A and B are shown apart, each in its own frame.
Chain A
Amino acid sequence: MRLDPGMDFGPWLARQLKQSGMSQADLAQRVGMTRAAVSAWITGRATPREETIHKIAEALGTDLGTIHTRTADTLAGLPISWYHRPGHADGGREFGNAAAFAFEADVGVLAREATQNSLDERLDLAQPVRVRYTLHELSGEALARFRDEIRWDDLLPHYEAAAQQDQKVGRMIAGGLSDMYDRDRLVLLRIDDYNASGLTGDDYETGRFAAVVRRQLDSQKSVSGAGGSYGLGKATLWATSRLGLVLMNSTLSEPHEGRTERRLVGRLDLPWRKVDGKPWAGPAWFGRPDPDAEDVNVARSWWADEESVERLHLTRESAEPGTSFLIVGAHDVASLVEGTDTDADVEDDDSVHRMHHRLKDALGRNFWAAMTGGGKQRPLLEASVRTLRNGVEIIPETRVDPRETQPSRTRALQAFLDGTTVDRMTETGQVAMATVPLMVPAPAGHGNAVEHRAVVLVTEAEDGDDGKPNRVTTMRGNRMTVKIGWVPGLPVGTNPFQAVLLAGRAAGEDAPFADEAEAFLRASEPPEHDKWGQTEELRMLYSPSAYRRIGALTNQANKAVRELVALPKKSRKGGPERLRKRLSVGGRKTARPTPPAGPPTLEELDARIDDSGAWCVTAEMKIPAGGDSWRPAPVAKLDVRSGPRPVLAWSELVAVHNCEVVDGTIRFAPGARTATFRGTTDVTTHPVRAQFSGLVVELRTDKGAQA
């Protein structure tokens, strides 16, 4: 499958010469032509004849196919290798990436940040961006092959040097190495997105590629309603890798160097270290040495062939633009916390399973809204998760369905998009809608505040909901959950509900001043995207008191929710309120501890009807400690719906175990904790045939019956 036509011969040849460090004159000499002829091929003024092409292939050390298709580089010249940034001349040392420390290394956070980045890079705005998470556990042979492929032997000295440092990053790397060597396993977590822009742009100049691969804290966002604005999110990719290593394969939406498919590069984030007596600053790149760079060893992205992409576990399923990130040595701090220390050395088979489910949960929790479509709108996002072990699928690909994890919230948003909301709920399953004002101040105090109307949706909570009921989920245009807040002041007996507050662009096309509100709320979001409130940006762009508008919005939203779900305050009846409140019956359950030596209770009842129509019961009793002095009397009654229950007499009552029967009461053996008796009812005392009624057996323990 060769979907892209390959480069023109001239530029391709120039590139191969540059990469192999061969001059035009060198090539001319090897193929027996003049330097002018080679120059003519490169500029496109002439094309070589078939026999000359044979000689060129020989000189470049490649086959004819590669020359004819020109979709990949020849293997001639400098091989794919690691380039480590040399230590700073000023002796400065960095023991880690500050951006990575801003996050917990937790697959939930990763799912949130990485998916958010994919959403922001959505290419065709009429279609959802598709995100797929693949967990792949490698061991044995497969692990060894993968290590060869990433030139592990070249990396190992750097890892060992880094692991010896007693710094946070050093300890993490040491843990990652021992996990791989001691347990012979490595977890790869791959994040693919489709219908996204891909890593476009030059290797070094400003663009998406450089923003992700070369730079820190560069927020290269293509849409103004984007989720992130700090360029921090991508750091979670490296933070999730215990080895600080991420490989990338991108299919570009705009060609670069005449190509779009299989642009590969790797980046390693290590702390400062000394290897072979030389200091290294930290990061390293996996790629083809760039002859154009000042330092010939600088690695740049390369256009790989299908086989090597396959060997690096980076094959994409189609030529649709987007990027695959492969996190090498993925781990999940949060799930490690869940496990206890004692079983840390036991092989934990479940860890990829656990990560799979945590990924699915995190996607469902954070992106249910982005995955919901309705009316004329398709969802913004489709996401799925699958898990493999050494190439074999162990958990099949499952699409994250928001209706499964968040049935009620999804229903609320869908009704809003479909335009089927109601003003007041009269039937369960309906979605009520109200609007609340958000006063958006003018930037930097110039001009007047404008009133944006945010949308509040309320619907009944479903049993399948993830999380607690009676909450308001808040979001803006990117439809990512910013926070989930509890609604205070709800009266007793309020039906459980879920509410959604849509502000900014999420409030719909007709909402007034949506763009202004969107920009305002985005400025009020901290890097974690987990609340709206005071931020430095908000203070600078608006005013120091601007955050109060958000508090007002929250209050208004809570009030609107209360009005939709709760009854208006009861009209006051006569009589002093204070007294009436104290005089209520029913509903109150005061727990009192059960006394230690309570009466014996029936534990097990085995009852059947014998041939004569009598009930034969065998009953086991539980006797609390010190309760063996009770003398309970077993009573059999017929179960009726209302009124007194007819009592049946016993024709026979015998002790079976740990007790004796005296005058219809049971005396326990001293110290007994369980006892069993058997009884048969007297048919003549049955008011109806036994077949027609249920039986109730009780132990009557009147105070007087206690010895």
Chain B
Amino acid sequence: MRAFPYQRLPGVVSLRVTSVELRGPDDIRDPLDTSAFSAIEQVVAPGSTGRDDWEWLRMKVSATVPGRATAPDSPWTDLAVVVVLSEGATNTRISTALTPGAENGRKWEGQLDLWRADHLDRATMSVHVVATVDGVAGREIAASAKDWIIDLKAEAPLRERELEVVEVGFREGPQWLRRFQEVPWAVDTSGDLPVVHINKDFEGVSDLVGGNGTSVDNMVRDLLIAQMCTDVWTAVFHTAIGDLEIEDDGTPLFPRDWRGEVLREMLPDVVPDLPVEDALSEVHRRRTGTSGWTDLQPRIHYAATRRGDVPKALSATIRGLDSIHRGADA
């Protein structure tokens, strides 16, 4: 739980993007459709238009602040509402102060520019209410709970990201894949996002995974996909747990990118009965400590199997085979 040495503003502070305009060479101004930024997902996807020549974009944003902030008897003075856009990967940080709009000081409006060259992947945007409290200027008295994401790569405004799946011939492909030429797939977790490489040189695997055939074909396909998913989740979990930031007292922090999401989704299966923060400490302790890491492997395998939906695929296959046999016997 948190405590602050000054009075903070209770209530919900929310932020929303009201319009986005792409700017580019020759004074191009291309407003995005509202469907390119989702208020539900809180994601802006400038890539959804398909145009790639934009250099910067201007967003109009509005923030809603509890009415108490501007009440005449409030303990806060010099109130400012600031939108901060940042991206950890590039260490970019832009802040813009909003100006009070309608609704008795509850609504604050402004605009924010984002330069494409300053960003790599996903920038986050949050709103902070800053005021002078007890004579100390510039204290944050409230902030939005959920960040907006400006996803420069996505084609749709969704928080969820799909891992990349690439079909490539391993025999003639990148150097590091050539050594894997006899396996049907390989997982690479070193990039921004994990990539699943499907070996095109492995005869028939592409068709099987991507195709639609007889009921037997489909059962085998679903089982295979479940197996691939299990492999992928096992690999990404190990990657995610392997590189954590640690606090002074040894508490590991959740990574901010996909690694954090993977951990949050899988840890409850790896270490049940514990809140995810404690589960992370526990797994980290076992991995870096002297004992316990080996004992944890079945749990990780279990979590990956569940995440890959193996039980569902397998029981469907068994049932399907059963009915085929019965049909053949009859």
Q: Does B70 contact A (CB under 8 A)?
A: no
A617–B18 alpha-carbon span in the complex (Å): 43
Query: Hey, what's the 0/1 contact readout for B135-151 against A, CB within 8 Å counting as 1?
Result: 01000000000000000
Residues of chain B contacted by A567 (CB below 8 angstroms): 33, 35-36, 48, 155-157
Residues of chain B contacted by A595 (CB below 8 angstroms): 272-273
Query: Hey, what's the 0/1 contact readout for A641-665 against B, CB within 8 Å counting as 1?
Result: 0111111000000000000000000
Q: Does A599 contact B (CB under 8 A)?
A: yes
Knowing A570-B155, A575-B164, A598-B273, say if A582 contacts B309 (CB, 8 Å). Answer: yes
Residues of chain A contacted by B48 (CB below 8 angstroms): 567
Q: Does A468 contact B (CB under 8 A)?
A: no
Contact status B3-A579, CB under 8 Å? no
Contact status A494-B261, CB under 8 Å? no
Q: Does A92 contact B (CB under 8 A)?
A: no
A395–B111 alpha-carbon span in the complex (Å): 44
> Which residues of B from 214 to 239 have beta carbons under 8 Å from A?
221, 225, 228-229, 232, 236
Contact status B159-A694, CB under 8 Å? no
A73–B274 alpha-carbon span in the complex (Å): 88
Contact status A615-B3, CB under 8 Å? yes
Please tell me which one of the listed residues B162, B164, B167 contacts residue A581 in the complex, with CB atoms under 8 A apart: B162
> Which residues of A from 664 to 707 have beta carbons under 8 Å from B?
690-698, 700-704
Residues of chain A contacted by B5 (CB below 8 angstroms): 608-609, 690-695
Interface range, A side: 35 or more
- Chain B: which residue is nearest A609 at the CB level? B5
Contact status B228-A579, CB under 8 Å? yes
Q: Does A495 contact B (CB under 8 A)?
A: yes
> Which residues of A from 424 to 461 have beta carbons under 8 Å from B?
424-430, 460
Contact status B253-A644, CB under 8 Å? yes
A571–B88 alpha-carbon span in the complex (Å): 29
Q: Which of A319-327, A534-542, A584-592 contacts B (4 or more CB under 8 A)?
A: A584-592
Contact status A702-B246, CB under 8 Å? no
Q: Does B275 contact A (CB under 8 A)?
A: yes
Q: Does A565 contact B (CB under 8 A)?
A: yes
A582–B226 alpha-carbon span in the complex (Å): 9
A691–B4 alpha-carbon span in the complex (Å): 8
Q: Does A635 contact B (CB under 8 A)?
A: yes
Contact status B33-A426, CB under 8 Å? yes
A570–B275 alpha-carbon span in the complex (Å): 37
> Which residues of B from 279 to 294 have beta carbons under 8 Å from A?
281-282, 285
A691–B139 alpha-carbon span in the complex (Å): 11
Knowing A575-B165, A637-B249, say if A584 contacts B160 (CB, 8 Å). Answer: yes
Interface centre among B18, B34, B272, B278 (most CB of A within 10 A): B34
Contact status B2-A646, CB under 8 Å? no
Query: Hey, what's the 0/1 contact readout for A599-639 against B, CB within 8 Å counting as 1?
Result: 10010011111000001010100000000000000010101
In the complex, what's the smallest C-beta–C-beta distance from B258 to chain A, in angstroms? 5
A262–B214 alpha-carbon span in the complex (Å): 82
In the complex, what's the smallest C-beta–C-beta distance from A225 to chain B, in angstroms? 34
A587–B163 alpha-carbon span in the complex (Å): 13
| Interface of chain B, main secondary structure | mixed
Q: Does A492 contact B (CB under 8 A)?
A: yes
Contact status B35-A587, CB under 8 Å? no
In the complex, what's the smallest C-beta–C-beta distance from B171 to chain A, in angstroms? 19
Q: Does B184 contact A (CB under 8 A)?
A: no
Contact status B249-A426, CB under 8 Å? no
In the complex, what's the smallest C-beta–C-beta distance from A312 to chain B, in angstroms? 46
Query: Hey, what's the 0/1 contact readout for B20-49 against A, CB within 8 Å counting as 1?
Result: 010000000001111111111101000010
In the complex, what's the smallest C-beta–C-beta distance from B104 to chain A, in angstroms? 15
- Chain B: which residue is nearest A589 at the CB level? B265
Contact status A617-B3, CB under 8 Å? yes
Knowing A426-B19, A583-B229, A592-B268, say if A570 contacts B274 (CB, 8 Å). Answer: no
A577–B33 alpha-carbon span in the complex (Å): 26
> Which residues of A from 460 to 514 have beta carbons under 8 Å from B?
460, 491-496
Please tell me which one of the listed residues B35, B158, B161, B251 contacts residue A492 in the complex, with CB atoms under 8 A apart: B158
Knowing A493-B156, A647-B249, A697-B1, say if A426 contacts B164 (CB, 8 Å). Answer: no
Contact status A580-B162, CB under 8 Å? yes
Please tell me which one of the listed residues B21, B43, B155, B209 contacts residue A493 in the complex, with CB atoms under 8 A apart: B43
Q: Does A574 contact B (CB under 8 A)?
A: yes
Contact status A694-B2, CB under 8 Å? yes
- Chain B: which residue is nearest A570 at the CB level? B155
In the complex, what's the smallest C-beta–C-beta distance from A532 to chain B, in angstroms? 29
Contact status A695-B3, CB under 8 Å? yes
Contact status B159-A426, CB under 8 Å? no
A395–B54 alpha-carbon span in the complex (Å): 58
Residues of chain B contacted by A602 (CB below 8 angstroms): 1
In the complex, what's the smallest C-beta–C-beta distance from A194 to chain B, in angstroms? 34
Q: Does A102 contact B (CB under 8 A)?
A: no
Residues of chain A contacted by B236 (CB below 8 angstroms): 585
Q: Does A45 contact B (CB under 8 A)?
A: no
A449–B100 alpha-carbon span in the complex (Å): 55
A581–B226 alpha-carbon span in the complex (Å): 12
- Chain A: which residue is nearest B62 at the CB level? A428
Contact status B40-A599, CB under 8 Å? no
Residues of chain A contacted by B81 (CB below 8 angstroms): none
A349–B45 alpha-carbon span in the complex (Å): 54
Residues of chain A contacted by B318 (CB below 8 angstroms): none
Residues of chain B contacted by A65 (CB below 8 angstroms): none
Residues of chain A contacted by B18 (CB below 8 angstroms): 427-429
Residues of chain B contacted by A644 (CB below 8 angstroms): 245-248, 253
In the complex, what's the smallest C-beta–C-beta distance from B173 to chain A, in angstroms? 14
A460–B229 alpha-carbon span in the complex (Å): 38
Q: Does A566 contact B (CB under 8 A)?
A: yes
A684–B57 alpha-carbon span in the complex (Å): 48
- Chain A: which residue is nearest B19 at the CB level? A427
Residues of chain B contacted by A587 (CB below 8 angstroms): 41, 158-160
Residues of chain A contacted by B60 (CB below 8 angstroms): 427
A567–B157 alpha-carbon span in the complex (Å): 9
In the complex, what's the smallest C-beta–C-beta distance from B296 to chain A, in angstroms? 11
Residues of chain A contacted by B16 (CB below 8 angstroms): 428
Please tell me which one of the listed residues A583, A606, A608, A690 contacts residue B165 in the complex, with CB atoms under 8 A apart: A583
Contact status A696-B160, CB under 8 Å? no
Knowing A586-B159, A599-B275, A700-B251, say if A578 contacts B209 (CB, 8 Å). Answer: yes
- Chain B: which residue is nearest A604 at the CB level? B1
Knowing A427-B18, A701-B278, say if A639 contacts B2 (CB, 8 Å). Answer: yes
**Which residue numbers of B lie inside 8 Å of A, CB to CB?**
1-5, 16, 18-19, 21, 31-41, 43, 48, 60, 88, 136, 155-167, 196, 198, 206, 209-210, 221, 225, 228-229, 232, 236, 245-249, 251, 253, 258, 261-262, 265, 268, 272-275, 278, 281-282, 285, 308-309
- Told that A428-B18, A579-B209, A582-B225 touch, could you supply 11 new A-B pairs with CB distance under 8 A? A430-B34, A492-B158, A567-B48, A567-B156, A575-B210, A586-B159, A586-B258, A642-B88, A695-B5, A697-B1, A703-B282
Q: What are 23 A-B pairs with beta-carbon distances under 8 A?
A: A494-B38, A567-B35, A570-B155, A573-B164, A573-B165, A574-B166, A575-B166, A575-B196, A576-B165, A584-B162, A587-B160, A588-B160, A590-B268, A597-B273, A605-B1, A635-B249, A644-B253, A645-B248, A647-B249, A693-B5, A697-B1, A701-B278, A702-B278
Closest 5 CB pairs of A and B: A575-B165, A607-B3, A587-B160, A576-B210, A426-B31
